[in-house]
Amino acid sequence: MTATALMVPVGRSVRGPSGRQSRALGLLEADLDGKRPGSRNGGSRLFSANGVHPTKQASRGPRTRAFAARNKIAAPRRPPLTLRPLSLRSAVQVRSARRLVIATKAAMGAVDPAKDLTMTTDHDDTEFEPPHSSSPTDHVLSELQLYGYRPFQGEPDPRPLPGGDAVARAVADILDALVSTLSDTRLEPDLEGLLWSSVNLFHRAVDRIERELDDNEQAQRKSQREQNGSEVRSVELERFTAEGITLIERRNSMELFRDQAAERFEVHTGSPWRPRSGSVVNHRTLTSAMIDSRDFLAAKRRADTEVMLPSGPKIAFTGGLDFNDHRLIWDRLDKVHAKHPDMVLLHGGSPKGAELIAAKWATNRKVPQVALKPDWTKHAKAAPFKRNDAMLEVLPIGVMVFPGTSIQGNLADKAKKLGMPVCKFGDSGA
């Protein structure tokens, strides 16, 4: 038998020169001792009509049967579909179509990454599970685990306020930590400014809540005008009223934070804390009882008026920037305070001198004080004299005058013309 083997599809009958049918194993015809394999370069000559290479059919001559014919044992059968060979053209077309589908899906995924495109594979992965988006219930539960319950904007907050002892301890820890950290270091010159800013932080929070409270008051007034007897409008007004009460309680708590911080500031620095702008007032703590909206607004205006214009006899005080006899000033003010325990001190709010000493006395004695500073921007050089007029418009029961300039003399003269008692101390008086 020669080196050339016949390889034809299994189950195919091959008819030789002798006319007999014979079978051979294999799928393709290949020349074992040839130079070019027929599987790649001879694609067009893979199969001939009778299953033999056409150029070698004539040179071989009659073939001998290498195997016994199976037609004597059983009738010829066609192989199953999985064993049938495909032509090269069909195989290439199938592979090209499959690659085109995969490339198309990959391109669509690159253009729109948000779109979930599942690539087909030869084997189904039963353990693979595509990613799922979070449900609304899962989002709510996660928020509660991370942050706890929080009311929505515009809803009254039922959570309790911090107690006074807890506030005092927290503020003391904050300021004491700054002092212990920066003392005896190169940053100690910045300590007083940082302590002042810490107190001012709570003061600004009070101002912010005050603005929210003003907005709530306007919303209540608008809701009152729009009342038409419907349940919707009534519930809306009740909600605004509850929000106003909550804002008042928040404001009072922030004022407590500020006052506690101001006390710690005075302990560490030795001087009282004062804001650079605005007033420092304390409002009475209100209960959270349900009240009528009109009564609420009236009580708010009345409380604000009482705080900004404290009740009690007014005592006007004036003195020069260069007068620093603090013993004399404190002694005279103590005598007036003993006679009028509920007095309110009026002064010019000077940054140094007699009026600064009087302001520190009022802070130490817990006496309400009103600083009437001159408006230099509006009145220019006449600002101190305009301030004297505003001080006398409050109608104080007496005027205390300490040595100074013509500004102090102007206040004394105008007070005498109005019939007010004027007491002069120091070099110019008793």
Q: Is the pLDDT of residue 289 over 50?
A: no
Instruction: Taking the CA atoms of 256, 258, 263 and 268 in sequence, report the sign of the dihedral they define.
Output: positive
Assess whether 337 and 300 both reside in one domain: no
**Domain span at residue 67?**
1-85
Instruction: Taking the CA atoms of 167, 173, 178 and 183 in sequence, report the sign of the dihedral they define.
Output: positive
Q: Is the pLDDT of residue 170 over 90?
A: yes
Q: What is the pLDDT of residues 57-95, one digit of tens each?
A: 444 555 544 445 555 555 555 555 544 555 555 655 656
| CB of 345 closer than 8 Å to CB of 354 | no
Classify residue 323 as exposed, middle or buried by CB count within 10 Å of its CB (0-12, 13-18, 19+): buried
What three-state secondary structure class fits 331?
helix
Residue 140 lies in a domain: no
Residue 138 lies in a domain: no
Assess whether 352 and 395 both reside in one domain: yes
Pairing assessment for the beta strands 21-23 and 13-15 based on DSSP bridges = antiparallel
pLDDT-derived band at 353, boundaries 50, 70, 90: very high
Q: Which residue, 59, 91, 55, 72, is CA-closest to 20?
A: 72
Assess whether 290 and 330 both reside in one domain: no
Residue 110 lies in a domain: no
Structure-model confidence comparison of residues 158 and 64, the more confident one: 158
Assess whether 292 and 171 both reside in one domain: yes
Task: Please give the mean pLDDT across all residues of the chain.
Answer: 74
pLDDT of residue 129: 65
Assess whether 300 and 355 both reside in one domain: no
Assess whether 274 and 349 both reside in one domain: no
**What is the number of domains present in the chain?**
3
State the CATH number of the domain containing residue 330: 3.40.50.450
The predicted model gives 360-375 an average pLDDT of: 90
Residue 387 lies in a domain: yes
Stretch among 148-152, 257-261, 309-313, 340-344 having the lowest mean pLDDT: 148-152
pLDDT of residue 7: 45
The predicted model gives 186-193 an average pLDDT of: 92
Q: pTM for the full model?
A: 0.43
Q: Is the pLDDT of residue 245 over 90?
A: no
What is the side-by-side strand order in the sheet with 398-401? 369-371, 344-347, 314-318, 398-401, 422-424
Q: Is the pLDDT of residue 188 over 70?
A: yes
| CB of 347 closer than 8 Å to CB of 384 | no
The predicted model gives 349-371 an average pLDDT of: 91
Structure-model confidence comparison of residues 17 and 140, the more confident one: 140
Counts of helices then strands in the chain (DSSP H, E): 12, 7
Stretch among 31-40, 88-97, 119-128 having the lowest mean pLDDT: 31-40
Assess whether 327 and 416 both reside in one domain: yes
Residue 267 lies in a domain: yes
CA distances to 128, 130, 217 from 125, in Å: 6, 11, 64
Assess whether 303 and 178 both reside in one domain: yes
| CB of 11 closer than 8 Å to CB of 78 | yes
Residue 422, number of CB atoms within 10 A of its CB: 17
Q: Is the pLDDT of residue 117 over 90?
A: no
pLDDT of residue 205: 92
Assess whether 349 and 405 both reside in one domain: yes
Assess whether 190 and 288 both reside in one domain: yes
| CB of 178 closer than 8 Å to CB of 197 | no
The predicted model gives 391-408 an average pLDDT of: 91
The predicted model gives 337-358 an average pLDDT of: 92
Assess whether 303 and 343 both reside in one domain: no
Structure-model confidence comparison of residues 46 and 367, the more confident one: 367
The predicted model gives 294-308 an average pLDDT of: 64
Residue 128 lies in a domain: no
Assess whether 198 and 291 both reside in one domain: yes
Residues 6+ apart with CB under 8 A from 150: 143
Residue 198 lies in a domain: yes
pLDDT of residue 338: 93
Residue 378 lies in a domain: yes
Of 278, 293, 308, at which residue does a domain stop? 308
Q: Residue-wise over 148-166: b if at least 16 C-beta within 10 A, else e?
A: eeeeeeeebeeeebeeeee
What three-state secondary structure class fits 170?
helix
pLDDT of residue 37: 46
Of 29, 52, 85, at which residue does a domain stop? 85
Of 64, 85, 106, at which residue does a domain stop? 85
The predicted model gives 299-317 an average pLDDT of: 74
H or E stretch including 204? helix 191-225
